[in-house]
């Protein structure tokens, strides 16, 4: 496929995500991607393995699921309107079709548990058929070998014992910033490191980074756009990038990194919980368990409907991925003050 198709598909996906509550057409999205409607449909489907209309329907119902989780007090009709459904009944029908449960059951949260990386509403190994998930009782423990090996530690952090792997945990207001990045769909494990290596190679060629500094504390910006237990893993998007100046510009030829184009955008600022983490990949699970299942529920903060991100040392890409890999990362989780319901 052409070098710039990743950029055009990205433009189309971002347009749909930003305007999913509107009555948008294929022509609108094709125009955002700078392609004819016919050519755009073929390119988008070949690149993402779903049609533009399928992507729009999925984004609408998954956005509704996200809002039901992070802002449970919003009336169902308001969520329907915000996600592009013309009525609450249309949202209800789409939700049950997609997730195999009602929106009310989803919002109640009996099937949710944080597994050390994501909030999960089903176990991938045992509940691939979403229509059966609501008949399976909630599992009181993490469904992983890691939990069984470190059960006492998980119990302790869930009861409020702060893991030693957290160097600092604070609330901080961060300004917006610009970044250069690559994205892939459906990548996991070593494929993610390959994406970072490709990005670094491009940055060195362009003179943006020096090869002799690759083992230093240079930081990248990582983002998981989708939750793999809400979105099919093959459709999840991962982004690897780094900060650039607001006026940074390149020619179309300079933007090429292998078969794909480097993309540029701005990450919105705001209020974040900042977690400085130092430990192994396996230790991350304990930190996430503490933060999501103890610190956040007992704090005055709640999730904000903004994108979070992760600062990662670029020296990580020089190593193979394994659970004992020592890393130091900084997590930025968007939050806002918890709204108290009127009594």
- Tens place of pLDDT for every residue, the chain, 343 residues? 455 788 889 889 999 998 999 999 999 999 999 999 999 999 999 988 899 999 999 999 998 988 887 677 788 999 999 999 999 999 999 999 998 888 888 887 666 655 544 555 554 334 434 444 443 333 333 335 665 678 888 889 988 999 999 999 999 999 999 999 999 888 887 888 888 888 888 888 877 776 665 545 568 999 988 877 678 888 889 999 998 888 887 777 777 666 667 888 899 999 999 999 999 888 888 898 899 878 988 999 988 878 889 998 877 766 666 667 788 899 999 999 987 655 4
Distance from C-alpha of 84 to C-alpha of 116, rounded to nearest angstrom: 32
User: What's the pTM value of the predicted model, to 2 decimals?
Assistant: 0.77
Return residue ranges of the chain for CATH 1.10.10.60: 5-107
Say if residues 94 and 60 touch (Cβ distance below 8 Å).
yes
The answer regarding whether domain 5-107 maps to CATH 1.10.10.60 reads yes
166-337, which class in CATH? alpha beta
Output DSSP code: residue 318. G
Closest CA to 221 of 118, 298, 329: 329
Distance from C-alpha of 90 to C-alpha of 254, rounded to nearest angstrom: 46
Return residue ranges of the chain for CATH 3.20.80.10: 166-337
Distance from C-alpha of 204 to C-alpha of 195, rounded to nearest angstrom: 15
Distance from C-alpha of 30 to C-alpha of 20, rounded to nearest angstrom: 15
DSSP notation for 64-76: HHHHHHH-TTS-H
Q: What are phi and psi of 336, to 5 degrees?
A: -145, 165
């Amino acid at each position: 496929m052409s070098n710039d198709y990743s950029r055009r598909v990205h433009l189309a996906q971002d347009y749909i995500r930003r305007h999913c509550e509107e009555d948008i057409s294929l022509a609108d999205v094709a125009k955002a991607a700078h392609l004819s409607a016919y050519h755009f449909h073929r390119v988008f489907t070949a690149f993402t393995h779903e049609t533009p209309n399928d992507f729009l329907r999925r984004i609408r119902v998954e956005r509704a699921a996200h809002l039901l989780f992070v802002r449970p007090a919003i009336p169902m009709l308001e969520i329907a309107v915000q996600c592009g459904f013309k009525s609450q009944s249309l949202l209800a029908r789409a939700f049950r079709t997609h997730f195999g449960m009602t929106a009310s059951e989803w919002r109640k949260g009996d099937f949710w548990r944080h597994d050390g990386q994501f909030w999960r509403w089903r176990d991938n190994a045992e509940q691939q058929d979403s229509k059966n998930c609501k008949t399976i009782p909630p599992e009181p423990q993490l469904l992983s070998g890691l939990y069984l090996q470190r059960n006492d530690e998980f119990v302790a952090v869930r009861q409020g014992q702060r893991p030693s792997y957290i160097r600092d945990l604070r609330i901080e207001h961060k300004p917006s910033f610009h970044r250069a990045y690559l994205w892939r769909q459906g990548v996991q494990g070593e494929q993610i490191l390959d994406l970072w290596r490709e990005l670094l190679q491009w940055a060195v060629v362009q003179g943006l980074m020096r090869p002799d500094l690759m083992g230093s504390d240079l930081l990248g910006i990582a983002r998981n756009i989708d939750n793999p237990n809400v979105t099919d893993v093959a459709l999840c998007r991962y982004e690897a990038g780094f900060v650039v100046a607001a006026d940074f510009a390149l020619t179309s030829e300079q933007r090429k990194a292998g078969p794909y184009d480097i993309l540029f955008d701005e990450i919105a600022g705001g209020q974040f919980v900042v977690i400085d983490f130092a430990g192994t990949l396996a230790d991350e699970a304990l930190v996430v368990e503490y933060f999501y299942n103890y610190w956040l529920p007992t704090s005055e903060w709640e999730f904000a409907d903004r994108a979070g991100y992760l600062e990662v040392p670029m020296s990580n890409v020089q190593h193979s991925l394994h659970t004992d890999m020592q890393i130091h990362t900084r997590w930025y989780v968007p939050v806002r003050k918890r709204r108290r319901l009127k009594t």
